[in-house]
A and B are shown apart, each in its own frame.
Chain A
Amino acid sequence: MADANRKRWWLAAGVVMLALTGYFSARLLGDDRRLFLPNATSHGHYQIELACDACHTPFSGVKQEACNQCHGEELAAVNDTHPRKKFDDPRNADRLTVLDARYCVTCHVEHQPERTRAMGVTQPDDFCFHCHADVATERPSHRNLAFDSCASAGCHNFHDNTALYEDFLAKHLHEPKLLAKPRVATRDLRPWIKAVSTKAYSHALTRAEADAPAPVVAKHLEEWAGTAHARSGVNCRECHSPVQPNGMRASWQDKPGATVCASCHEREQQGFQSGRHGMRLAQKLSPMRPELARQPMKADAHGRELSCTSCHGAHAFNTHRAAVDACLECHDDTHSRAYLDSAHARLWRAEIEGHGAAGSGVSCATCHLPRETLRDGDLKGVRVQHNQNANLRPNEKMIRAVCMSCHGLGFSIDALADPSLIARNFSGTPARHIESLDLAAARLKLPRKPKP
């Protein structure tokens, strides 16, 4: 009797276990894995938090490789101040027991909202102390500075110090607020496109030469005829019926996908898929929509999906629209709302209305999708970085590549350290002064002009 009871009990337990296993497996393997999300993810990863395997491996945790895949290239590009290779010499073993700086996840632990600080760091803010406790011996000016202020006072970053190191500060000590010729570089895709397409730039096309099958939509034809595509010989079929790897043209597609854009604009697509606009696509998730954002977005933008054409449109590929109007169709935070009344916007309007010099206008894209001079073997040219988050946090990343095209270093550092000035989209003057230039000048015994 007792035996039979026990058997029945085991049977029931088995069935329950099986059912639970089945349920959890189905949830894990299915599309909706929210059940397994331990806690809110950081601002950097929330969009892809359900693509668990973007970071996690079965049974062996989060691999460093996962971090490198998305962030490795940018760290290398900014000459990361604390790369892994600085730490893996055995002479650093004692340091690593305190803070294992060889691994990203030592400082950037995910799913820990209550201890995630600025920049997604989950270490106490004074972590610099572990290795730089004796900083005041060489730099007495630092004696009374708190270790939780190294990275928060506008002076240093852990990774990107491209505009903050002493010799750079010294080189740019006496720059005015506004440089004599404030201009951004001119975009130049030509050398790159020529390298991937033998046909591009063969000759400028007219409306009569458009090779779309009838009936052609007049508006599309008109828009295309005004573009760089038409001017540089990119006809309708290059996108709507592109040549495939087998040499044959694909059948006509009314709405070609992003892969067609990427066949010439691969780097732009890579940038797009690295930032908040396109990172979901990189993980094979549905496209980003404004209502999924943590930033304030306009209600009437809800439901729109982000892709190349959401900002660039199709056919017209109007870069002016992509640089301001497209942003403001969705973004609704204080900084974005203040843009149109800013000095930057006045310069932008002047440039696109034809009375400002080329490169003198400052659009949203000027700062957030900056122009970069790139080198790739023999190729050299200026392209637009389409990862609009690459220079945002910490914002000192913007100084060198963006602000200093037009402003002096000292002014740039001060401006980016003033959150209310940023909220006003830089209408006004910085209310804060960061001492780094003064300290560098004093240490190197260089003259420091009195502040105007």
Chain B
Amino acid sequence: MRTIKTVTRSVLPLMIVASITACSSGKPQAGLSPQQLTDSLHLVLETDRTVYTKLIVNRLQNEEKVIKASEHWKEDKALVLPAQMFRAGAEMAREKGATFSYSLLSTWPINKQNAPKTDAEKTGLDYIAANKGKNYYTEETLGGKKYFTAVYADIAVAPACVTCHNGHKDTPKKDFKIGDVMGGVVIRYPLGS
């Protein structure tokens, strides 16, 4: 019983992602609301992000201490940072013609380009930080196009998240703790014109 549940939970979103990518017409698939869509996307993104941080970065950098994660990963022959991994995926999906887009932002960003910029981003990040466990949904118009925009909390799931951010030279916040909301994942889906 438990196995079946796990399987559906992880396969369903993948199928959805596949169908969105395959049919990038801009219209949600029949029967799926924009919110169900962004929720499913988020489930995959969050899962992969946690897996990468726990199984790769936290294990190899913090526990085994065999390799570091570095912003300059190519140069330092190091692991890609979780945030860079996330962004690389977002960029590749866009390059492949995905209609949806996603980014990792924070009110306390190391990289100032990851600070909230649009009103929806600002309100959304404040909302998810103040209402733990809740997501923020809204609609916004960017560059003349209407989007369904969802904001999900990005949580410090592993010690690596906290130690790295608190010790980073560019961080505006040095007291993150495990379980804290460190920022948010913003997913946008176009709502036609």
Contact = CB atoms under 8 A, between A and B. Distances in A.
A262 interface: no
A88 B144 CA distance: 14
Contacts of B170: 138
Contacts of B190: 90
A138 B186 contact: no
Interface of B: 71-72, 74, 90-91, 94-95, 101, 103, 112, 117-118, 121, 142-145, 147, 169-170, 186, 188, 190
Contacts of B188: 90-91
Contacts of A168: 72
B95 A89 contact: no
A94 B91 contact: no
Given A90-B188, A91-B117, A167-B72, A96 B143 contact: yes
A126 to B, nearest CB: 19
A444 B101 CA distance: 35
A133 to B, nearest CB: 11
A390 B188 CA distance: 39
Contacts of B145: 90, 93
7 contacts: A89-B94, A89-B101, A91-B118, A91-B121, A91-B142, A91-B186, A93-B144
A57 interface: no
B148 to A, nearest CB: 12
Most buried by B among A79, A167, A444: A167
Contacts of A94: 117, 142-143
Contact of A93 (B91, B95, B142): B142
Contacts of A444: 169
A431 B73 CA distance: 36
The 8 closest A-B pairs by CB, nearest first: A93-B143, A85-B91, A93-B142, A90-B142, A89-B101, A88-B94, A90-B188, A90-B101
Contacts of A79: 74
Contact of B112 (A86, A88, A138): A138
A97 interface: yes
Contact of B71 (A89, A91, A96, A167): A167
Interface in A77-122: 79, 85-86, 88-91, 93-94, 96-97
B103 A89 contact: yes
Interface string A3-26: 000000000000000000000000
A167 B73 CA distance: 12
A209 B192 CA distance: 74
Contact of A85 (B95, B143, B186): B95
The binding surface of chain B is classed by DSSP as mixed
A90 B90 CA distance: 12
Nearest to A85: B91
A168 B142 CA distance: 36
B64 to A, nearest CB: 24
Contacts of B101: 89-91
Interface in A271-295: none
Most buried by B among A79, A90, A134, A138: A90
Nearest to B100: A90
A85 B90 CA distance: 9
A86 B91 CA distance: 8
A96 B143 CA distance: 9
B120 to A, nearest CB: 9
A79 B74 CA distance: 10
Nearest to B190: A90
A138 B111 CA distance: 10
A167 B190 CA distance: 38
Nearest to B147: A90
Contact of A91 (B72, B91, B95, B103): B103
A97 B143 CA distance: 8
Nearest to A131: B113
B35 to A, nearest CB: 18
A120 to B, nearest CB: 26
B172 to A, nearest CB: 9
A58 B91 CA distance: 31
Most buried by A among B72, B103, B118, B143: B143
Contacts of A89: 90, 94, 101, 103
Nearest to A165: B72
A89 B118 CA distance: 12
B140 to A, nearest CB: 9
B102 to A, nearest CB: 8
Contacts of B143: 90, 93-94, 96-97
A138 B94 CA distance: 30
A85 B92 CA distance: 8
Nearest to A443: B169
A96 B145 CA distance: 14
B15 to A, nearest CB: 25
Interface in A153-208: 167-168
Most buried by B among A86, A91, A96, A444: A91
Given A85-B91, A90-B190, A91-B118, 7 more contacts: A79-B74, A85-B95, A89-B90, A90-B101, A90-B188, A91-B142, A91-B186
B141 to A, nearest CB: 9
Nearest to B115: A134
A447 B121 CA distance: 39
A97 B121 CA distance: 19
